[in-house]
Amino acid sequence: MFLLDAPVTAKRQVAQGMFVIAMRAPEIAATVRAGQFVNLGWSGGPLLRRPFSVYRADGEDIEVVLKAVGVGTAQLLEMEGGDRVSCLGPLGRGFEIAGSRVLVISGGLGVAPMPLAARDARSAGARVTWVHGARTAAELCSEADGDEIVWATDDGSRGFHGTAVAAATDAGLVLACGPNRMLAAVAERWPDAQVAVETYMGCGTGVCLGCAVPLALGGYDRACKEGPVYRAAAVNWSALPAHLPYVA
């Protein structure tokens, strides 16, 4: 775990309202694993840090992908090259990647942890099929990649007309991230899938117990320590707060 004062190095648009921000955080870039996240703070920002999956890591930089859904994300998107972000991470447990065939399923901003996952899977010699879904073609993240890519849109404006889960065909290892209702559907079909969940977070480091994830066996654990990646069947989906407006 590192606490770095990271300058913003680049910014680009990857879908309607969706942007990637890169920042120089060498120690984090060198150690982050797919599915882990960073907790970001900045002067003039809200009191609490904001957690973001690491989207990509190359060389000295890490990237995060986001949409403006509130105060913090709006401020982050206003940042310019050179502006400094306090970057805490890498945090949480990432994906356990193994096997020869990997199916990646992402809904909307659920694309966030997947470029790293796809990279690791392919460098481990696996064949990656990536199913990416969104409401409309314009909201599809342009940077999904893999040996095979399947697009899905709720309005049918591009690729499969329906959800990413419905568009997916079976595979060995399944990795998924997106709205809770999508992850619940993944859990139905692939109990052993690895899914990355979101909760409100106080600290991101395991000390506040604010990020409780309800477990199928009862009780809660911490999205920021034991999570954010879980075996799909291990989560009590009906008890995990839904309606995260920012997850399109």
Ligand X SMILES: Cc1cc2nc3c(=O)[nH]c(=O)nc-3n(C[C@H](O)[C@H](O)[C@H](O)COP(=O)(O)OP(=O)(O)OC[C@H]3O[C@@H](n4cnc5c(N)ncnc54)[C@H](O)[C@@H]3O)c2cc1C
Ligand Y SMILES: Cc1cc2nc3c(=O)[nH]c(=O)nc-3n(C[C@H](O)[C@H](O)[C@H](O)COP(=O)(O)O)c2cc1C
- Contact positions vs ligand Y (CB under 6 A): 202, 208, 210
Q: Pick between residue 48 and residue 215 the one whose CB is nearest to ligand Y.
A: 48
Nearest distance from C-beta of residue 234 to ligand Y, angstroms: 24
How far is 183 from 93, CA to CA, in rounded Å?
A: 18
**Contact status, residue 162 vs residue 135, Cβ threshold 8 Å:** no
What is the Cα 34 distance to its own chain's centre?
9
Burial 191-218 (b: 16+ CB within 10 A, else e): eebbbbbbbebebbbbeeeebbbbbbee
239 binds ligand FES (CB under 6 A): no
Nearest distance from C-beta of residue 42 to ligand Y, angstroms: 21
Nearest distance from C-beta of residue 201 to another protein, angstroms: 8
Q: Pick between residue 120 and residue 221 the one whose CB is nearest to another protein.
A: 221
Nearest distance from C-beta of residue 130 to another protein, angstroms: 30
What is the Cα 199 distance to its own chain's centre?
12
Give all strands (DSSP E) within the chain, no chain letters: 2-15, 18-24, 37-41, 50-53, 56-58, 61-67, 84-91, 101-107, 127-134, 148-153, 160-161, 173-177, 194-196, 212-214, 220-222, 229-231
β-pairing, 56-58 vs 84-91, is unpaired
Nearest distance from C-beta of residue 140 to another protein, angstroms: 26
β-pairing, 148-153 vs 160-161, is parallel
Dihedral sign (CA 123, 67, 8, 38): negative
Q: Pick between residue 47 and residue 217 the one whose CB is nearest to ligand Y.
A: 47
- Binding part of the chain for ligand FES, among 15-23, 98-106, 107-115, 207-215 by CB under 6 A, reads 207-215
Among 10, 46, 138, 155, binds another protein (CB under 8 A): 46
Chain residues that interact with ligand X, rule: CB under 6 A: 37, 46, 50-53, 64-67, 69-73, 109, 112, 198-201, 223, 228, 244-246
Nearest distance from C-beta of residue 31 to ligand Y, angstroms: 27
Kind plus residue range of the DSSP H or E element containing 115: helix 114-123
Among 97, 141, 144, 213, binds another protein (CB under 8 A): 213
Q: Pick between residue 149 and residue 234 the one whose CB is nearest to ligand FES.
A: 234
Which residues bind to another protein, rule: CB under 8 A? 1-3, 41, 46-49, 86, 88, 199-214, 218-220, 225, 239-241, 243, 245
